[in-house]
């Protein structure tokens, strides 16, 4: 069985849902408490034992690459000012991982973005993480998926149950429960099904562990939902070809690509922060009490 060594993170999207905040900065660089969203994703990758990150980028996204790079000038200034703790923290960020970038030259969809990684990934299974989905869990979500992969040696999509009236927003998986904990054998998947066209509430969240055969499937995938080349459509053909599992991960997922989801992530992460947690709780309590009593 091949080891999982690489993670692909598509970051080419425009971030229109966060305009005007994202007019001049990538949405992946929006801050959650004290670090950009993308750093949480990369930290999950690192904590799962992955060695290399492949970013699929587009024009205007160089801030993300710079964030994970060493900044000599900044380091020199911090050294002069004896800001050692901060220097150490920044050094940790830049040493987190090896980052390779591939440009997606045209916005043809998520499937096309992943296909762009084919030469860098090569003939080995790999992870895909979507930057909008933040998962907080004891065992990193990707680690949970790698542990399952070591038992099934097949592709896996992470899923969660969603209310039936929200299924049209997701890739939806239909399948049968297996003898393995929280694991389903996938029978069919559909990208953003029209209401009433699927009975399943199992939604794909942005974590995938994929066999390299997905690239051949992506190469043959025609534009689907929204006129874009959809990863879900390629995964449906991979399901038919060699099998696929869906895994109900343990943890809490935030849709950080949505304003309310983003705010929830900020609040929850800040509440667990060693110094900000307590004063924030006090503040929230006072705000809520005022609301109730006018
Ligand atoms: C993408 C995928 C979809 C998945 C979702 C999870 O959609 O295409 O299958 O359920 O991410 O966040 P998007 O939200 O980018 O439109």
Counting ligand 1 atoms within 8 A of each CB, the residue from 18, 171, 244 with the most, and so the one to mutate, is 171
197 pLDDT more than 60:
yes
Ligand 1 centroid, distance to 173 Cα (angstroms): 12
Position 293 scores a pLDDT of: 60
Ligand 1 centroid, distance to 231 Cα (angstroms): 9
Token couple for 184: 């389903």
- 71-99 average pLDDT score: 83
Ligand 1 centroid, distance to 273 Cα (angstroms): 29
- Taking only the tens place, the pLDDT of each residue in 152-196 is 999 999 999 999 999 999 999 999 999 999 999 999 999 999 988
Ligand 1 centroid, distance to 18 Cα (angstroms): 17
At residue 291 the predicted structure's pLDDT band, cuts being 50, 70 and 90, is low
| d(C-alpha 236, C-alpha 232), whole Å | 6
Which residue's CA lies nearest to atom 15 of ligand 1?
A: 110
Give CB contacts under 8 A, 24+ apart, made by 121-124: 121/6, 121/8, 121/54, 121/212, 121/215, 122/212, 123/212, 124/2, 124/3, 124/4, 124/5, 124/6, 124/212
At residue 97 the predicted structure's pLDDT band, cuts being 50, 70 and 90, is confident
At residue 121 the predicted structure's pLDDT band, cuts being 50, 70 and 90, is very high
Ligand 1 centroid, distance to 276 Cα (angstroms): 32
Written as one string, the DSSP assignment of 224-256 is: -GGGS--HHHHHHHHHHHH-EEEEE-SSEEEET
Nearest atom (ligand 1) to Cα of 170: 10
- Taking only the tens place, the pLDDT of each residue in 224-276 is 999 999 999 999 999 999 999 999 999 999 999 999 999 999 999 999 999 99
Nearest atom (ligand 1) to Cα of 231: 8
Q: Compute how many other C-beta atoms are within 10 angstroms of the C-beta atom of residue 84.
A: 10
Coil, strand or helix at 76:
helix
Ligand 1 centroid, distance to 205 Cα (angstroms): 7
Ligand 1 centroid, distance to 207 Cα (angstroms): 10
At residue 78 the predicted structure's pLDDT band, cuts being 50, 70 and 90, is confident
Domains of the chain (ranges, CATH numbers): 6-257 (3.90.550.10)
Nearest atom (ligand 1) to Cα of 203: 10
Which residue's CA lies nearest to atom 13 of ligand 1?
A: 170
At residue 34 the predicted structure's pLDDT band, cuts being 50, 70 and 90, is very high
Pocket of ligand 1 (CB under 6 A): 110, 130, 132-133, 170-171, 191, 203-206, 231-232
The runs of H, that is alpha helices, within 140-258 are 141-152, 214-219, 231-242
At residue 292 the predicted structure's pLDDT band, cuts being 50, 70 and 90, is low
Which residue's CA lies nearest to atom 11 of ligand 1?
A: 206
Ligand 1 centroid, distance to 48 Cα (angstroms): 22
């Amino acid at each position: 069985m091949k080891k999982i060594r690489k993670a692909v993170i598509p970051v080419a999207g425009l971030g229109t849902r966060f305009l005007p905040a994202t007019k001049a900065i990538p949405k992946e660089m929006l801050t959650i408490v004290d670090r950009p969203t993308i750093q949480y994703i990369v930290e999950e990758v690192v904590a799962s034992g992955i060695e290399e990150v492949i970013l699929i980028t587009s024009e205007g996204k160089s801030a993300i690459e710079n964030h994970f790079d060493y900044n000599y000038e900044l380091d020199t200034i911090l050294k002069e000012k004896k800001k050692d703790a901060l220097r150490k923290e920044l050094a940790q960020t830049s040493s987190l991982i090896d980052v390779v970038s591939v440009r997606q030259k045209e916005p043809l969809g998520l499937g096309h973005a992943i296909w762009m990684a084919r030469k860098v990934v090569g003939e080995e299974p790999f992870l895909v993480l979507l930057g909008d989905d933040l998962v907080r869990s004891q065992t990193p979500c990707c680690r949970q998926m790698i542990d399952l992969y070591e038992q099934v040696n097949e592709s896996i999509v992470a899923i969660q149950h969603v209310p039936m009236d929200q299924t049209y927003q997701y890739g939806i998986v239909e399948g049968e429960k297996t003898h393995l904990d929280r694991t389903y054998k996938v029978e069919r998947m559909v990208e953003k099904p029209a209401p009433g066209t699927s009975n399943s509430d199992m939604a794909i969240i942005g974590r995938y562990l994929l066999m390299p055969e997905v690239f051949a499937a992506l190469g043959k995938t025609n534009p689907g939902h929204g006129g874009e080349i959809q990863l879900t459509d390629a995964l449906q053909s991979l399901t038919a070809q060699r099998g696929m599992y869906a895994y109900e991960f343990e943890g809490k997922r935030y849709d950080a690509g949505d304003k309310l989801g983003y705010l929830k992530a900020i609040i929850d992460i800040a509440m667990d922060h060693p110094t900000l947690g307590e004063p924030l709780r006090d503040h929230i309590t006072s705000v809520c009490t005022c609301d109730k009593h006018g």
